[in-house]
Chains A and B, each alone.
Chain A
Amino acid sequence: MKENPYQPWLATIDSICDEVGGQRAIKTFRLVFQDEKVREKFTFLPGQCVMVSLFGKGECFFAISSSPTQKGFIEVSVLKLGKVTSALHECEPGDVVGVRGPYGNHFDVSGWMGKNLVLIGGGIGQAPLRSLIKYVVDNRKQYGKLDIIYGARTSKDLCYTKDFAELKTCEDTNACLSIDVKEDGWSDFVGFVPDNLMRVNPSPKNAIAVTCGPPIMIKYVIQNLGKLGFSEDQIFTTLEMRMKCGIGKCGRCNIGNLYVCKDGPVFSYKQLQNIKGEQ
């Protein structure tokens, strides 16, 4: 019998980055597997997920927000929401969690080589895109133009501000931030993410658009991508569902006949058009 897929490896929280404070706080945890062999054999691609355990509290499914080009650790960004995520927010560096995975499918980083990428995120939804962005930046020559459009309600709700400060200095990357309402000292776009997309006005030619974020944002982003001439199979998104097993057995994360944990989380808009099921 192979390894027990339900049994997590132990990982130590190496560092914690406070992304967003307040009621809906977001923290990014850098996790290092305790077993060196696991550290080496754990490989993944942008878009894939892990199940993180807090022993005694339970497990939660997260997109890996670091890139496979970063070795020795993985990162997950956690929005404080339920029992497990709240407990995770209480953790400190040095604390031990369990990790199993990687799970699910991934962005087609090899199929997309040579293409222009338009990556549109909102709020915590940026987590899987962050992995993809870092991956593309680290393999920059393999890809065409890179447009990054990211927004949140206020400047305080933006994640990964350090990453964006760096991205803005990259010449071959167009990183465009937005906030919903005007604030003093804000020099980027003011308005919703779908509007910022129209302003940036990316060409659909030889392009792939990926959008992750709140369902309502995704809805309008996809509408606008359509207006810009993107076809259904040029648009990708990631879906979320309640998960328990992460490996297509416990049954709960289905949308129609697909299991988000196993057949997702990455879907093309074309695929989504054809699924009959509740999201």
Chain B
Amino acid sequence: MKVSTMEKYILLKNKLPEWINMITPTYTIFAPVKEEDLVFFKPITKPSEMTLAYSNAIVPPKAQMFHQTETMFTFTQGKNIRVNPASLPDEKIVVFGIRPCDAKSLSIIDPVFTNDFEDPYYLTKRKNAILVGLSCNQPTVNCFCTSLNGSPASPEHLDILLTDIGDKYYVELNSEKGKQLVEKTKKLFTPATDADSKKKKDVEKKAVDAITRQMKINNVDAFVKKLDTIFDAPYWKTIAMKCLGCGACTYLCPTCHCFDIQDETTLDKGARIRVWDSCMRPEYTLHASGHNPRPERMNRVRNRVYHKYNYYPKNHQMIACVGCGRCIDNCPVNIDIIDVITKAGEVKP
């Protein structure tokens, strides 16, 4: 719906540094930065620090809203206990070059952090962030966003989407926030022509065609129900057999939102900290009594899969996977979510 009224512009490639420079004083800019062979989202001070020739960042940019470790508040211990709220950052940020799948992952986890009790840490950063996406012209071998209603060049879930169409970027403004950002720097942009729009379509089609892997879920509702019937199938034990429980698949997943809460203390001061956690770890669900509801790897692997493809759709009417392929790329024993799901569809109840 939004797409028809969306404003479209052109930004010449050689104007991109100027644009970044113009917005740098107002925003903290997180952009893909290359470190050895990996790419991370990092704050940059000048455009030359970033790299836009990248497939995807190893750590998803959800880390910019949901920090890997974060102080929730500090306190003084002893006789005179006081709790001091952590100051919530009010800095405005731009996540530059975020991929459409990663932007979608934020829309997916938003309800977890808003439901019933608002999570101030995530929501302040989320509200202060402008997502400037970059279409994937070259999806990776394990990308499968198209199996989950995504597209390598979808502006949905983004404020602005840039698509590389040769010597220029095709710029789609998809929100008020996006419009405002461009408005302030309007002189760098020119309206897009029909020819530009067609070029974008061509680039998108080429990218879609370059996605070779496909997860077979024809009908989400039917698949959710199907999983209900095979919860106790031996299948889960078979696929979990080789899992090492390292947690890479969950730490690097853009839709994983689990965390642990810990107190860190010195003699009289302390802080309550939250850190990313992983349901692939046995301690995760271990009761103080020694009972563990998910004692086996099978339980934990199944929980990860069900969380994304059964529980989440039941609670939020969406699959909690965007098809970024990170869990496939980084699993040391090649547990492959595309295969796991596709084959689950064939398991007999």
Contacts and interface: CB of A to CB of B under 8 A. Distances in A.
Contacts of B263: 55-58
Interface in A189-217: none
Contacts, number: 115
A82 B73 CA distance: 24
Nearest to A276: B231
Nearest to B266: A56
Interface residues of A, number: 39
Given A10-B81, A98-B83, A56 B270 contact: yes
Contacts of A278: 285, 293-294, 299, 303
A85 B116 contact: no
B3 interface: no
Nearest to A254: B311
Given A10-B83, A257-B315, A241 B293 contact: yes
Contacts of A144: none
A190 to B, nearest CB: 26
B294 A56 contact: no
A9 B299 CA distance: 37
Contacts of A254: 303, 307, 311
A4 B85 contact: yes
Interface stretch (B139-147, B202-210, B239-247, B254-262): B254-262
A145 interface: no
B297 to A, nearest CB: 13
Contacts of A257: 310-312, 314-315
Given A1-B118, A279-B293, A250 B258 contact: yes
B311 A56 contact: no
Interface in B104-156: 112-113, 115-120, 123-124
A1 B75 contact: no
Contact of A247 (B116, B123, B286): B116
A239 to B, nearest CB: 10
Interface in A239-279: 240-242, 244-245, 247-252, 254-257, 262, 276-279
Nearest to B127: A1
Contact of A81 (B261, B284, B289): B289
Contacts of B118: 1-2, 5
A137 to B, nearest CB: 30
Contact of A1 (B115, B123, B315): B123
A2 B116 CA distance: 11
Nearest to B300: A278
Nearest to B286: A242
A260 to B, nearest CB: 10
Given A7-B73, A96-B81, A248 B228 contact: no
B140 to A, nearest CB: 27
A61 B183 CA distance: 50
Contact of A250 (B77, B259, B293): B259
Contacts of A57: 263
Contacts of B179: none
Contacts of B294: 278
Given A5-B117, A5-B118, A56-B265, A249 B112 contact: yes
B288 A85 contact: yes
B319 interface: no
A59 interface: yes
Scoring A5, A255, A276 by chain B CB atoms within 10 A of each residue's CB, the highest score goes to: A276
A276 B72 CA distance: 34
A55 B123 CA distance: 25
B279 interface: yes
Contacts of B257: 249, 251
A56 B85 CA distance: 15
B287 A59 contact: no
Contacts of A262: 116
Interface string B279-313: 10000111111000110000100010011001110
12 contacts: A1-B120, A1-B124, A4-B72, A56-B75, A56-B265, A81-B288, A242-B287, A250-B261, A251-B279, A252-B279, A277-B231, A278-B294
Interface of A: 1-2, 4-8, 10, 53, 55-59, 81-82, 85, 96, 98, 240-242, 244-245, 247-252, 254-257, 262, 276-279
Nearest first, the 7 closest Cβ-Cβ pairs linking A and B are A82-B288, A251-B258, A257-B311, A5-B117, A278-B293, A247-B117, A81-B288
